Structure 1
Amino acid sequence: MKPHQVEGIKFLWRNVVENVNRANRGKGDGCILAHCMGLGKTLQVIAFLHTVLHSPHLPKLRTALVVCPLGTVLNWCKEIDMWTRKSDQPIAIYNLSETKSFHERATMLKMNKHKSLNPVCKWHKKGGVMMTGYKMFLLMSSSKKGKYKRYNHLFAEHMLQPGPDIVVCDEGHIIKNEATSLCTVMSSIKTRRRVVLTGTPLQNNLMEYYCMVNFIKPRLLGSAKEFNNRFTHPISNGQHVDSTEKDVKLMKKRSHVLHELLAGCVQRKDIDCLREQLMPKYEYVLRVRLTPLQRYLSTFKCSDISNRKGCLFQDFKNLLLVVCHPKVLVLDKLRREQQRVSLLNEDDESSEIGSEEEIDPPSPDELLRLPTMSVQELKKLIISKGGSVQHIREKEDLVSCAKLLLTKSADTGPDELWYEKVMPSDSNLIDSVEMSGKVTLLLRILKHSAQVGDKVVVFSQSLLTLDLIEDVLRNVTMKENDTIWVDDIDYCRIDGSVKQNSRKNCIDQFNTHVDVRCRLMLVSTRAGGIGINLIGANRAIVFDASWNPTHDVQSIFRIYRFGQSKPCFVYRFIAQGTMEEKIYDRQVGWMG
C-alpha cells in the first residue's frame, strides 16, 4: 500500500470506530474520504471493512452496505473478491442488483418455506458486504405505489431500521440536495457509521458540500440557514471582481474556519501526492474550426433565436448538435419520432392518432397543473410535444419548457425541423465526414493511435454523438491497413442502456493487453465517466465540453490512475467561435 492509503485507512478507523470500547458502546460517527480519482479509495475501504467485519473485538460491527452508481456495482464486487479471496477470512459479497424485480428482491429478504437463509438473511446473520445501486435503493426504500407498497416494511426493516452496521456511499457527491428523495432515504438509515467517498467533494456550490457533511455528521454545521449566514454568503461575497478588501478578508477567514472545523472528518488528497509515481499526462485543448455548412447552420439558428422567443435549452441543444455534425440533427429527429411513438403506444395501445389531428389551445388548468407534475410526467409531456429533455436537469426548467411547448404547439406546432430549410438535399453531402471538423480530427487521432499501438476512449455527453461516431466507424476503412471497425470487436460502447454484465465484459476485454484489436471505447460521460477503470487506454478524447467541469475531470481520470503503464494524452475538442468556447472558459475560471 502507498503511504496516503495507509493514512486513509487510519482516518477511517479514527472516525468510524475510534476505539474498541467506544465502538461497542456508542453509535459511532461518519467521515468523508475525498481523495482524488485514481488514488485507490476502493482499496482503502475494502481493507478497512475486512479489518472491522472480521474483528472478534467488534461483535456489533458485522454488516456493511455499499451504495454506489449502478455501473460500478460489479467493479466493487470484483475488487472485494480480488483483494480478500486469498485471505483466511474473505468478505462475503451479496449483490442485490442482480435481482430483476421487486418480488425477487423481497424473496431475498425473507425466509423460504424450508426455513433456510436467503442471501440477505445470511448477510444479517453471518455478516458481509451488501452491494446495491442508488436508484435501486431509493425504489426499494420509498416506493409506495400499488403492488410495491406491500414490500415497504420488508425493505425498511433490512435496509433502514435497523439496517447495516456501516454504510458506504461511493461517488457521495450524488447526495447533494436535501430536498431530493434520495437524500431523505439515505439519511433515514439508522446507523451513524457513514462513509462518503468522492473525488470531487465541491462541484457547484457550498450547499452541496453542506449536504454531504450533514449526512455523515448531522448538525455539525448547524441548520442550512445558519450555514448560509455563517459561511456560504461571506465566502461568495469575497469572490467577485468588485469585492471590497473587507469582503475578501472575511472570505479568507471564514474559509479557514470551515476548513479547520471539517479537518477531523474530511480528508482531502489530490493527485500531487503520487505525481512522481504516475506516468506523465499531457493535455491538449484543440480549437476546431467549423465547416462552412456548420457555420451556415449556426448563423441561421442564432438569427432565428434573436427574432423569436424560443425554448432556450432546446435551442442550445440544437447548436451543440450542429457543431458535432449536421447529420446529428437528422438522428435527433428520428429518435424523437421513435420516442413519441413509444409513448403513444404506452399510453393507449388501441388508439389511433391521425396525422392531421387539430391541436387545441392549452387550457388555463392544464398550464397551472404543470408545477404539480412529477419530473417523469414532465419529460413525457415534453417529448410528446416534440421537445427534448437531454440537457434539462432542474424541474423548474422542465416546467418552463413544457409551458412553452404547449403554447407553441397550439400556435404553429413545434419548430423541430428548422434545419430542413437550409440543409443540403444531397444525402452524400450530409453523410460526409468532411462536414465536421471534430469527426475529421477524431479519425486522424484514431489512425495515429492504431499505428503506435495505443487504445483510445471517447467521452461525450450526447448519445446522439455516440450514435454518429458509430455510424461513421461502420462506413470508414483505415486506408493504411484496410481495417474495418466491427462493433464489440474493434470498439465497444458504454451508456445507460448497457447491462451490468455486458459493461463488465466490455471493460475487461478493453483493458486486457492480449486483445489488441479492441482499441476504442465510446463512453457516455454521465453513465461511464465515474467509478470505472479504463487503464487499457492511454489516450482520451473529451468530444464536447460540460457545464460542470468535474464531469470532464472525472472522465480524464478513468485512464490517468494507478495501473496505467503508458504516458497519457488527453484531447479536449472545442468548437471555435461557439458556445463551447464560453463553456470551456467558464471551466478554467471555476477550476482555477
Structure 2
Amino acid sequence: MYSDKDRREQEKMEKQHKMEKERMRKRRNSHDLEKIELTQTGRLLVNAGHSPDDPDVHVSPYLTHILQPHQLGGVRFLYDNIIESLSEFNTSPGFGCILAHSMGLGKTVQVITFVEVLLRVTSAKKVVVIVPVNTIQNWFNEFEKWIPKYLETGESCRKFEVFLLGDAVKTFDHRVNLIEEWTRRGGVLLIGYEMFRLLIRSTQPKKPGKSKGLPLNVRENCCFGKPTTVSELLLLLMAAGRYAHPLVIRSALIDPGPDLVVCDEGHKIKNLNTDIAAALGAIKTRRRIVLTGYPLQNNLMEYYCMVDFVRPDFLGSRKTFSIQFEKPIKNGQCIDSTAKDVKIARQRIHVLNNMLKGFIQRRTHHLLKAILPESKEFVLLLRKSPLQHALYRNFVMYAKNEISSGNSAVFNPLKAFAACSKIWNHPDILAKTLERKREERRKAQQKDPFNFVILRQPNRVEDSPRSSKGKRNTRIKAKTIQGVMEEEFDITENDQGLQYDWAEIAMASYKVGHIEHGYKIVLAMELLDACVRIEEKMLIFSQNLTALDLIENYLSRRPLRTSTETTSWMKNINYFRLDGSTPGSEREKLINRFNSDPTARLFLISTRAGSLGINLVSASRCIILDACWNPCHDAQAVCRVYRYGQQRRTYIYRLILNNCMEKAIFNRQISKQGLQQRVVDDAQVDANITQKELETLLMYDESLDVVHDKWDTSHWNFGDEVLESVVKCRSEMLAEVLLFSVTASVTSTSPRPGCQLPPAVWKGLVCPLIPFLSPIYCTLSYNKDTYWIYTRHGNRYSLGFTR
C-alpha cells in the first residue's frame, strides 16, 4: 500500500516524466547537434530547426571559428534545455541540464558561449556561476580571453559585465556592494562554493538576543525616529544598511535570484555541507546547469544529487532511487555477482540512461584524438634502493604486528599509506619525520623527566576488538580516506600515533642529501634534465608537500643546463610552485608567467591544489610522482597538459615503486573490483577498507627485491627520446616500463619491437585472449575502447591493457 507521501512523490515524478517526453518530442535530432556548417552569412546557427515564430540565433562572431564540433553540440544542447524556444522563454519556468564532458574538452568555453547567447537574445539579465575557489580566477580569465570587454582595436565586444567575488573582496560590506551592483547592472557573477555558503548563511534568522552595535541612546532614539546628532544619524544609517544586507543577498541569490545558475564540478554537490546543498536547492530559477567530468555510473548517488538539482523530483526521493537503481546496479558490479545480478544491473543502467539522456550530455576524452597531437603515458615501476628495501621490510613486519593485534585505532590504511610514502618518495622525508619525533620526545622529557618512552609489545590476536556478538572486528575505520580524496593536505604528516621504531635502526647513521637513496627523485631529476635540454617544459605533481620541498632542495644544488647555457634553478624565475597555500590571486599570475615565459622550465604542483581549473598547455611533459588513493586526482593532473589547446605531443610519466603498497594501490586504481565494473569511466576508491584488504595492500615478496643486473636496453624503443636517454643509463633502477598509448587505436596498433607476432595473428589470436591473460592492468571506459601495452620480464613478454 502506498502512503499519501509516496503517492504525492509518484505524482510529481510522473508529471516530470510527462513534461520531459513532451520536450523531447519537440527537440531536434541529437545527431544534428554537432553539424558545424556555416550559414550563407558565415555564422554558426544555434537553434537550427526552430519554430517559425523564432528568429535565427547565432554564435557570437568572435567565437564562430573557435568552437570544435563537440563544443558547438554542447552549446546547442544547453540552448535546447535552458532556452528551448524564444517565443516561450518568458512563460516557461525552464529546465536544467548536466553537461558531462570529460576534462579537457572545453566545458568552460561552451558555457561562456551559451551565456553570451542567453544574455543577448533573451530577457535574462543575471547569471551566477558557482565554482571551486581554486578555479574562480581561471573562469574570469576565460571570459576575458574568449569574449573580452573590448578588442585590441577598441571595439566593444562583450555587452555584459563579469563580476568576480573572490579573495580580493575582503569585507562583508564590500561583498554585498558588489552583489548589489551585479543585481542592478546584470551580467555574470563568479562566486566560490564556500563564499556562497557564507553569504546564504548570513541571511538565516539569528537567535533573539540583546541588540548590539549601537549605543543605547541611539537605539532609544531610533525607536522614536529621533536621531539627535549627525554622528548618531550616520550610525543609524549604517546599521540600517547592515540589517538590509540579508534581504539584498537573499533577493539576489535565492528569490527571485538569478535567471540562470551554473555549478562547476557539480559532482561535488553531494559532498558539500548540507547548508550549501539546501541553499542551492532553494534558488528559485529552474534554469540550472551542472558541469561535471564524470560519467553516470561513476557514483550513482552523486548523480542523483545532480539530477535532483537540475530536475527536482525527476528521480523521486533518495530512498526510491536507491531501491530502483543504486542497489541493483551495485549488486551487478561486484566481483562475485551472479549472472542474474549482472543482467538486472545492465537493464537498470539502460533504463536510467534512457530516462536521463535528454538532459545529460556525455562526451569522453576520446574526442581529443581528432584534435590534439598524440599523447603517450608511461608507468615506470621502480626498484627499491638498498635502504628503501631495508626500511620497507621493517615496516611490513611492524604493520603485520599491528594488524594481528587489532590496533585499528592507531594503525589504519591511511596511516600505513602516510608511513610508506616516506619510504617510496625518498628516505630524506622519513629522516625529517624521525627528527621531528625525536624533538617532540626531547621537549616532553624536559617538561617531565620521568616521562620515559615505553616500547610496546605486540598484542595477541585474541586482544583484538570484538563486536557485540563476540566476533573479532576486521573492518578498519578509515573514514579519513575520504578526506584524502576531497581535501588538500600533506598526507605524509597524517601519522599521529604511528610508531617509528621500525625505522630507527636502519636510519641510525643516515645522512640527508644523498639523492641516490630514492630512485624516484633520481629519475625525476634526470627526466627533467633531459626535458630542459630539448627546450620543453615539465610539470611535476605530488600529493605530498614534503616531496615538493625535497625536490626544491635538490634543485638548489643542481645546475640548469639548456642547449645554449648553464645556469641555476631559481624559484619564480625558471621554476614555479603551486600548492594549497598559494593565494587564488597569485595562482593565476604564476600560471600566466609559466605559460608565457620561454625561460620557465618547471612547475611543481600539489596534486589536489592544482589538478582542477588550470591550463598548462605550454608544458608537454608531466611527472606524477606518487599514486593517489583516488585515481581521479591523477587523471585530473594529466589533463593539465593533455587538453584542448595543446600543440605538442605530450608525455606522461608515472613513477611507482614496485613490490610495495604503492604498486598495490596503483593496481587497485586500474582494476577496481575486476572486469565486472566495465561500466565505470573513472572509478572512485572505497572509503572503508577491510582488514583483509589492508593485508592484501601490504603483501610483500622480498625475493623480488634482490639485486638485478642492468637490462639489455639495446632494442628498447619507446618513441620518446627523453625517456630512452634516461632509462638506458638507469636501467638498474627499473623493474618494468609500461607504455600506455592514449591516442592509439587497438585496431591499428602493431606489436612493439621485440614482439614478433604478425599483425594477422595479433588481431585474430591474441586480442580475443586478452581477458584471460594475467597479470591484467586495465581501466575500461564505458564505451569499451581499449589500448594495449607491453611489459618486459627478462626475455619474456606479457600483455596487458589499459585506457
2-side partners of 1:39 and 1:231: how far apart? 29
**Counterpart of 1:319?**
420
**Counterpart of 1:37?**
103
**Counterpart of 1:418?**
501
Any stretches of 5+ residues in structure 1 without a counterpart?
110-117, 341-351, 360-387, 396-403, 406-413
**Counterpart of 1:496?**
580
Give the secondary structure class of the aligned counterpart of 1:90.
coil
2-side partners of 1:100 and 1:333: how far apart? 42
Once the two structures are TM-superposed, the CA of residue 178 in structure 1 deviates from its matched residue by 7.5
Give the secondary structure class of the aligned counterpart of 1:199.
coil
Give yes or no for contact 2:533–2:561 (8 Å, CA) kept in 1. no
Given residue 364 of structure 2, which amino acid in structure 1 is its aligned partner?
D
Once the two structures are TM-superposed, the CA of residue 557 in structure 1 deviates from its matched residue by 1.0
Q: Given the superposition, is the C-alpha separation of residues 338 and 64 from structure 1 closer, same or farther in structure 2, using an over 3 Å criterion?
A: farther
1-side partners of 2:89 and 2:144: how far apart? 27
Once the two structures are TM-superposed, the CA of residue 333 in structure 1 deviates from its matched residue by 6.3
**Counterpart of 1:345?**
none
Given residue 64 of structure 1, which amino acid in structure 2 is its aligned partner?
V
Once the two structures are TM-superposed, the CA of residue 68 in structure 1 deviates from its matched residue by 1.0
Q: Pick from 487, 506, 524: which aligns with 2:571?
A: 487
**Counterpart of 1:71?**
134
Give the secondary structure class of the aligned counterpart of 2:533.
helix
Are 2:658 and 1:576 equivalent residues in the alignment? yes
1-side partners of 2:537 and 2:279: how far apart? 41
Give yes or no for contact 2:74–2:99 (8 Å, CA) kept in 1. yes
Correspondence list, 1:209-248, <5 A: 209-248=303-342
Give the secondary structure class of the aligned counterpart of 2:671.
helix
2-side partners of 1:576 and 1:130: how far apart? 48
Give yes or no for contact 1:84–1:91 (8 Å, CA) kept in 2. no
The percent of aligned pairs where both chains have the same amino acid is 38
2-side partners of 1:536 and 1:394: how far apart? 28
Q: Pick from 156, 171, 174: which aligns with 1:107?
A: 174
**Counterpart of 2:621?**
539
1-side partners of 2:510 and 2:172: how far apart? 50
Larger deviation, residues 258-267 vs 226-235: 226-235
Give yes or no for contact 2:166–2:192 (8 Å, CA) kept in 1. yes
Give yes or no for contact 2:431–2:507 (8 Å, CA) kept in 1. no
Bigger radius of gyration among the two: 2
2-side partners of 1:108 and 1:12: how far apart? 30
Q: Pick from 261, 267, 281: which aligns with 1:187?
A: 281
Correspondence list, 1:272-287, <5 A: 272-287=366-381
1-side partners of 2:160 and 2:362: how far apart? 27
Are 2:451 and 1:451 equivalent residues in the alignment? no
Give the secondary structure class of the aligned counterpart of 1:541.
strand
Q: Given the superposition, is the C-alpha separation of residues 339 and 418 from structure 1 closer, same or farther in structure 2, using an over 3 Å criterion?
A: closer
Are 2:575 and 1:509 equivalent residues in the alignment? no
Are 2:201 and 1:124 equivalent residues in the alignment? no
Q: Given the superposition, is the C-alpha separation of residues 568 and 154 from structure 1 closer, same or farther in structure 2, using an over 3 Å criterion?
A: same
Q: Pick from 348, 355, 360: which aligns with 2:447?
A: 355
Give the secondary structure class of the aligned counterpart of 1:279.
coil
2-side partners of 1:28 and 1:239: how far apart? 36
TM score, norm. by length of structure 2: 0.61
Give yes or no for contact 1:239–1:248 (8 Å, CA) kept in 2. yes
**Counterpart of 2:88?**
22
Give the secondary structure class of the aligned counterpart of 1:328.
helix
Give yes or no for contact 1:455–1:539 (8 Å, CA) kept in 2. yes
Once the two structures are TM-superposed, the CA of residue 417 in structure 1 deviates from its matched residue by 4.5
2-side partners of 1:252 and 1:570: how far apart? 34
**Counterpart of 1:267?**
361
Given residue 122 of structure 1, which amino acid in structure 2 is its aligned partner?
E
Q: Give the alignment's Cα RMSD to 1 decimal.
A: 3.1
Any stretches of 5+ residues in structure 2 without a counterpart?
1-66, 214-241, 452-478, 487-494, 673-778, 781-803
Given residue 440 of structure 1, which amino acid in structure 2 is its aligned partner?
V
Once the two structures are TM-superposed, the CA of residue 155 in structure 1 deviates from its matched residue by 3.2
Once the two structures are TM-superposed, the CA of residue 282 in structure 1 deviates from its matched residue by 0.4
Q: Given the superposition, is the C-alpha separation of residues 486 and 356 from structure 1 closer, same or farther in structure 2, using an over 3 Å criterion?
A: same
Once the two structures are TM-superposed, the CA of residue 569 in structure 1 deviates from its matched residue by 0.2
1-side partners of 2:326 and 2:600: how far apart? 48
2-side partners of 1:445 and 1:390: how far apart? 31
Q: Given the superposition, is the C-alpha separation of residues 394 and 69 from structure 1 closer, same or farther in structure 2, using an over 3 Å criterion?
A: closer
Correspondence list, 1:157-196, <5 A: 157-177=251-271, 180-196=274-290
1-side partners of 2:644 and 2:169: how far apart? 34
**Counterpart of 2:429?**
328
TM score, norm. by length of structure 1: 0.81
Q: Given the superposition, is the C-alpha separation of residues 160 and 434 from structure 1 closer, same or farther in structure 2, using an over 3 Å criterion?
A: same
Once the two structures are TM-superposed, the CA of residue 553 in structure 1 deviates from its matched residue by 1.2
**Counterpart of 1:50?**
116
**Counterpart of 1:442?**
524
Give yes or no for contact 1:297–1:422 (8 Å, CA) kept in 2. no
**Counterpart of 2:164?**
95
Which is helix-richer, 1 or 2?
A: 1
Give yes or no for contact 1:490–1:519 (8 Å, CA) kept in 2. yes
Larger deviation, residues 282-291 vs 462-471: 462-471
Q: Given the superposition, is the C-alpha separation of residues 358 and 172 from structure 1 closer, same or farther in structure 2, using an over 3 Å criterion?
A: farther
2-side partners of 1:202 and 1:444: how far apart? 41
1:442-494, Cα deviation, whole Å (9 max, x unpaired)? 01100110111111111111112211211221122257854321111121111
Give yes or no for contact 2:388–2:518 (8 Å, CA) kept in 1. yes
Larger deviation, residues 265-274 vs 155-164: 155-164
Give yes or no for contact 1:53–1:127 (8 Å, CA) kept in 2. no
**Counterpart of 2:7?**
none
Are 2:632 and 1:530 equivalent residues in the alignment? no
Give yes or no for contact 2:617–2:641 (8 Å, CA) kept in 1. yes
Given residue 7 of structure 1, which amino acid in structure 2 is its aligned partner?
G
Given residue 603 of structure 2, which amino acid in structure 1 is its aligned partner?
M
